[in-house]
Chains A and B, each alone.
Chain A
Amino acid sequence: MASPRQRAARARYIQYAVLVAVVVAAAFLMDWAQIQRAFFNIEVARDMFPRVLTIALKNTVIYTACAFAFGLALGVVLALMRLSSVGPYRWIATGIIEFFRGVPALVVFLAIGTGVPTAFPGREIPGDVLGQVTVALGLVGGAYMAETIRAGIQAVPKGQLEAARSLGMSHGRAMVSVVIPQAFRIILPPLTNELILLTKDSSLVYVLGVYLETQELTKFGRETMNTTSSLTALVVVGFCYLLITIPLAIIVRRMEHRAERAR
């Protein structure tokens, strides 16, 4: 009988062997020249600059930031409503949260983009595409963030609110000055994760009908792909997303690590 350590070593060798086999097979079986032409065409990539940065990346960042800000404000309001002692507030908030968490983001975009103008002719959400994306994406993000924020508020020890109230602060003042700031520290990692999700969901803006100046990364990539018949555009665009999301992911990991140590 092999000892546990010998068995663990053997399992590790097998894993390495499988990995090497897959890499070798890929190297022989794939048509590398074709892959390079399709995905890494330098000319196509070069032609995408600087617009991929000055228009597409910029718009993605702006759409996401505005939607996140709107969603955060909405999330705080919904979270406070969920925690309210007034029944109807709780029911309304629960309804809104469950609705926008349960419905695909694409459907919300369609409703905002075509539903609102049809339902309220002559009236539209101000701010053109940016306004619409802020509301649509903000509603979806806000619904998710509301539950996170509520959990954060509930994670603040009860004694904090009591101490604030015993000093004569009103409930609202105590929430604003004492409880909510502490709740946000607790939920900073999940909120940043939500920001990453919103960054990717901002690609849904295409259903709102965008023109050149309002294109964000995904739309811009698809347009470029159509005109150049090269998948290189997608590689460039994907890389641009990573430029946003990877630093955010690193920040989240750092914060989680620090919270772990502080415990």
Chain B
Amino acid sequence: MTTEIRPDRGAAAIDVRDLHKQFGDNEVLKGIDFHIDNGQVVCVIGPSGSGKSTLLRCVNMLETPTKGQIFVEGEEITDPDADVDRLRSRIGMVFQQFNLFPHMTVLRNLCIAQEKVKGRSRAEAVEVARRNLAKVGLAERESAYPAHLSGGQQQRVAIARSLSMDPDMMLFDEPTSALDPELVGDVLAVMKDLASEGMTMMVVTHEIGFAREVGDKLVFMDDGVIVEEGDPRQVLANPQHERTQAFLSKVL
């Protein structure tokens, strides 16, 4: 097992500097600067196509930025020599479509990366997995296959899978957008618990209520730039920018 490199406590959890991303001729991110402190919950809102997912995916290098730098707890993940796999194992990611491994049971979904990436023994991995399944309220479904779970249950398993890697922070890309309305609450409840435990979280969401209640910071993106950011209650009650006002008037 590799020695854990303790995060630099002074550094921001995520620090993004002048980030640009281009797909062909289409510039999707046009110079993004922002940071998340340890323990902060930052919610990102904005119209569809504004680049929210791309920004999130750049943070753990699922997309390679065209220009700019991203630091994760002081380490530059955009550095060509960075050990991206090791950094990723410290950043949990939850997808809109859950992306559970359909050929594995719930328990196996939670254990595989613990064993193959963290080098934990089977017994150790199972113990951690069971603890996290209990946390998301699905202790009794460990031998089910993903296809036999509801969307809400699948998303909670996906969260537990990320948590089993003991991440320092979690990224969420519209985690409730693919869910039936009555299942959204369970997932949000799990996320609220996480936030209250002090997990650093970056959440792309359309759940304005969640952003207001749980968020420490709200970021509004439009057309590849951050238009406005600040305390969620202030931004939501009193948006400064015209584009923010227009967007909020549609979703609120």
A: residues with CB less than 8 A from B are: 157, 159-160, 162-170, 173, 177-178, 181-182, 185
Contact = CB atoms under 8 A, between A and B. Distances in A.
Minimum-distance CB pairs A-B, first 6: A168-B89, A163-B99, A167-B113, A166-B93, A159-B99, A168-B117
Contact of B117 (A157, A159, A169, A181): A169
Given A167-B117, A181-B103, A162 B88 contact: no
B95 A165 contact: no
A215 B129 CA distance: 55
Task: Point out which of B85, B91, B161, B162 has the most chain A C-beta atoms below 10 A from its C-beta.
Answer: B85
A168 B62 contact: no
Contacts of B102: 182
Contacts of B117: 167-169, 173
B103 A185 contact: yes
B56 to A, nearest CB: 11
B162 to A, nearest CB: 7
B88 A168 contact: yes
Contacts of A177: 112, 116
A167 B161 contact: yes
Contacts, number: 61
Contacts of B122: none
A177 B111 CA distance: 12
Given A160-B99, A177-B116, A182-B102, A167 B62 contact: no
B54 interface: no
Given A162-B62, A163-B101, A169 B85 contact: yes
Given A163-B95, A167-B113, A169-B85, 5 more contacts: A160-B99, A165-B62, A166-B93, A177-B112, A182-B101
B88 A167 contact: yes
B86 interface: yes
Interface in B80-123: 85-86, 88-93, 95, 97, 99-103, 112-113, 116-118
Contacts of A164: 101, 113
B103 A182 contact: yes
Nearest to A182: B103
A187 B165 CA distance: 32
A182 B165 CA distance: 23
B153 interface: no
Given A177-B112, A177-B116, A166 B101 contact: no
A170 B103 contact: no
A182 B158 CA distance: 18
Nearest to A166: B93
B3 to A, nearest CB: 15
Interface in B47-102: 60, 62, 85-86, 88-93, 95, 97, 99-102
Contacts of B116: 169, 173, 177
A238 to B, nearest CB: 39
Contacts of B93: 163, 166
Interface centre among A159, A164, A167, A169 (most CB of B within 10 A): A167
A160 B102 CA distance: 9
Contacts of B86: 168
Nearest to B113: A167
B62 A170 contact: no
Nearest to B112: A177
A235 to B, nearest CB: 44
23 contacts: A157-B97, A157-B99, A159-B95, A159-B97, A163-B95, A163-B100, A163-B101, A163-B158, A165-B62, A165-B85, A165-B88, A166-B93, A167-B88, A167-B89, A167-B113, A168-B85, A169-B117, A173-B117, A177-B116, A178-B101, A182-B102, A182-B103, A185-B103
